[in-house]
A = this chain, B = another copy of it.
Amino acid sequence: MKPSSLRRPPASHSARVREKRVRRSREILHAARVAFRERGYHGTTLDDIAARLGVQKTALYHYFPDKETILYTCHWEALEEVEQILGQALQREASSAARLRYVIKEHVRVMTETLEGSPLTFETTALSPTHAAQVIQRRDRYENGVRALIEQGIAQGEFRRVNSKIAAFAIFGAINWIARWYRPEGSLHAEELGSQFADHLTGGLTCQ
């Protein structure tokens, strides 16, 4: 389940060293996420990412074989994150409406809190064919999960008889778009954002 293309640590001895390496990898990925979100993949240079860590770009090659793999890993971890949400929703909530609300709220949280979700908005066209296939497959699995949730809601009479594909796209669009405008320093608070999104995207705007 781990991204196979992380540069393999050459049979290191101590766990401490390995740990440090992992920490550094995370730092790189975080810097990359910030940069990619602001400038896009092609608009971001390895210097950009390295500069955020106060290091030369060549240092990055100790952790990732190339730029594209950094992008891929960002994608992969984001998918890991949101997939968990879906599982939790099914476990913790009973009604379809409550489950969908949970997914939206948590997805928004992942989006705003650590930026972990923003890779979902990166263009998959920049990935290598192999990586793209993996990412798209996994992303589809998540999307299908949410669609299934909507369809259950319809079957049980909780939701109107909508096209679940379109409904899911509307929800993901609203959430993913957050990466384009949300800034932690801004006036909008993540808390409010999550719950209002959940309300709006399930219950709508109009008064009942």
Contacts and interface: CB of A to CB of B under 8 A. Distances in A.
Contact residues of A: prevailing secondary structure: helix
A41 B153 CA distance: 40
A196 interface: yes
Interface in A71-122: 97, 100
Given A177-B173, A206-B203, A196 B40 contact: no
A77 to B, nearest CB: 20
Interface stretch (A12-20, A55-63, A163-171): A163-171
A192 to B, nearest CB: 7
A171 B38 CA distance: 21
A47 interface: no
Contacts of A150: 205
Q: How large is the interface on A (under 10, 10 to 19, 20 to 34, 35 or more residues)?
A: 35 or more
A173 to B, nearest CB: 3
A202 interface: yes
Interface string A119-138: 00001011000000000000
A27 interface: no
Interface of A: 38-43, 97, 100, 123, 125-126, 150, 153, 157-160, 162-163, 165-167, 169-178, 180-181, 188, 192-193, 196-197, 199-208
23 contacts: A39-B125, A39-B126, A40-B125, A41-B42, A41-B43, A43-B123, A158-B207, A159-B205, A159-B207, A160-B199, A160-B206, A162-B199, A163-B192, A166-B188, A169-B177, A170-B196, A170-B201, A173-B173, A173-B175, A173-B176, A200-B201, A204-B205, A208-B208
Which 6 pairs, one residue from A and one from B, show the smallest C-beta to C-beta distance?
Answer: A204-B204, A173-B177, A42-B42, A173-B174, A42-B43, A170-B174
